[in-house]
Structure 1
Amino acid sequence: MNLILLREEQKQTPTQYKLTESQMKHVTQVLRKADGERIRVGVVNGNIGDAIFDLPSGLVNIVHLDALPPKSLPLTLVLALPRPNMLKRTLTNITAMGVKNVYLIHSSKVEKSYWQSPVLKPESIENFVFEGLEQAKDTVIPTITFCPRFKPFVEDIFPTLMTPDVLGLLAHPYNAKACPIDLKQPSILAIGPEGGWSEYEVGKWQEAGVETVQMGDRILKVETAVPVLLSRLYPA
């Protein structure tokens, strides 16, 4: 945790926030901050700055919030819903890398039971997202949209995202060109399940105007493929 991210409900006064139990533990045991020392804080969807730690009260007193959060990636990520135990790591990585618009969709190779997982509960998703934000010293919460039906997403929602200036890319290991490097334009990247998109799904994506791209002969797990593709498309 490289940033203590403060929620609106933690605000006590305009300049004071009450730390949660987990934040107190991190500040005292990991950061080893003593009473009166400064810590780096950020306000959800707001600026970043410094605050004075008040150990007896468990409060932080804002000194200043004068730094903007880092720039987000100009990319919308469409992701076939991963296995629940992989979703946590994937969403945390996505958030840390600056993706602000994510669609989790269904695919023929996604188990329907995944959609019933408690991992998809709002409080769980929020925890994954906050972990990524605090890791990357960011404050802007990404929008995560669930689309449990493939065809309505591709036919009805996706066309509204594909404006003329946006490049649509489909990660697919077969009959695809090499993934571009260092894009200068916004893009939509669709990544399938570990078993890959079905032929029908690839056809629907191509009808929607996307280009199929690949990274070579190796087939990577989703949690690996996501950061590799993002860092290739938009190098730091």
Structure 2
Amino acid sequence: MLSARTTFHTGCAQRRRRSRGERNWPEIPVVRHAPDSPTGPTSVNLILFEAPLPETLLRGGDPRARHVRDVLRRRPGDTFDCGAIDGPRGKATVVADTAEGLRLRFAWESAPPPPLDPIVLLVGLPRPQTARKILREATALGLSRFRFFASGRGEPGYAASSLWRGDAVRRLLIEGAEQAFCTRLPEVALHASLSEALEAEATANATRVALDNYEAPRGLGALPAEPHTPVIVAVGSERGWTADERDSLRRARFELRHLGPRVLRTETACVAALAIIRERLGRYR
């Protein structure tokens, strides 16, 4: 898995396939911390840093420095909202603005950041531009974990995208968290199949639901959910589920639910489902 601390993986199923001589699933490299990696957002509500240091130099070429100068228009003596990834929020004071960059001093809150919602999103691997939207917007909604998987009707080449290399995913998570005024980042994992993704959540005590336009008898809005019970929601690829995938979901105790008669884009369905589930968990009360 990948978060501020974790990595992409394809699991033991990949090794089993190799031993049988079957088609190899692409290697997903470890994505590690880059010190204060710039995310380059056009507008954010919270600027994130790697650790709750007492002070730092934000170099002039860092997009965050440009944001503080040009968007927030902060000058020496001014403050702005900041956060440490998976750590506290706080206030940053611009101590000096020089050709080298911005010298910042931090005052961190003592309270820990609120936890992420106990929601896991399983998504059939979409085209890269769609995956980018899902990663950013779903992170803003506060889920705990993504599990992307190669689906029966998906395009195998999507896994070879540069999105899944380097720190591109992590930058999108940071953008979503900054938008939401949050410091916590969700975990992300990439799996070779739906079965592998389901196996990774097999022991979870959770409400399990899969979106389906064709065989779902009830809408997602009527989903019974307890405030502290985790929810695992599965969204198929852009071409929907195969019959075998529906069978796998049912065997894994997933209930099929729909979002109404309209056919939605994958990113729209993910955001709508997360918003409904958060309401069912009482997050808007």
Q: 1:101 aligns with which of 130, 141, 145?
A: 145
The verdict on how the C-alpha distance between 1:181 and 1:160 changes in structure 2, with shifts beyond 3 A counting, is closer
Task: Give the equivalent residue in structure 2 for 1:16.
Answer: 55
Deviates more, 1:131-140 or 1:142-151: 142-151
The number of aligned residues is 228
Root-mean-square deviation (Å)? 1.7
Q: Equivalents in 1 of 2:177, 2:196: separation in Å? A: 31
Task: Give the equivalent residue in structure 2 for 1:170.
Answer: 210
Task: Give the equivalent residue in structure 2 for 1:159.
Answer: 202
TM-score, normalised on structure 2? 0.76
Asked if structure 1 preserves the Cα contact closer than 8 Å seen for 2:207 and 2:225, the reply is: no
Task: Give the equivalent residue in structure 2 for 1:7.
Answer: 50
1:69, CA displacement in angstroms?
A: 3.0
Amino acid of the residue matched to residue 97 of structure 1?
L
Asked if structure 1 preserves the Cα contact closer than 8 Å seen for 2:122 and 2:197, the reply is: no
Amino acid of the residue matched to residue 169 of structure 1?
V
Asked if structure 2 preserves the Cα contact closer than 8 Å seen for 1:182 and 1:234, the reply is: no
Please give the secondary structure, in 2, of the residue aligned with 1:58.
Answer: strand
TM-score, normalised on structure 1? 0.91
Q: Which has the higher strand share?
A: 1
Q: 2:271 aligns with which of 227, 232, 236?
A: 227
Q: 1:192 aligns with which of 236, 243, 266?
A: 236
Q: 1:44-55 to 2 correspondence within 5 Å?
A: 44-54=85-95, 55=97
Please give the secondary structure, in 2, of the residue aligned with 1:104.
Answer: strand
Q: Which has the higher helix share?
A: 1
1:111, CA displacement in angstroms?
A: 0.6
Query: Percent identity between the aligned chains?
Result: 26
Gaps of 5+ in 2: 1-43
Deviates more, 1:54-63 or 1:167-176: 54-63
Deviations 1:105-158, CA, capped at 9 Å, x for gaps? 11011111000000111410011111001101111121101102233333x323
Q: 1:105-184 to 2 correspondence within 5 Å?
A: 105-154=149-198, 156-161=199-204, 163=205, 166-176=206-216, 177-179=218-220, 180=222, 183-184=225-226
> Does residue 30 of structure 1 match 2:30?
no
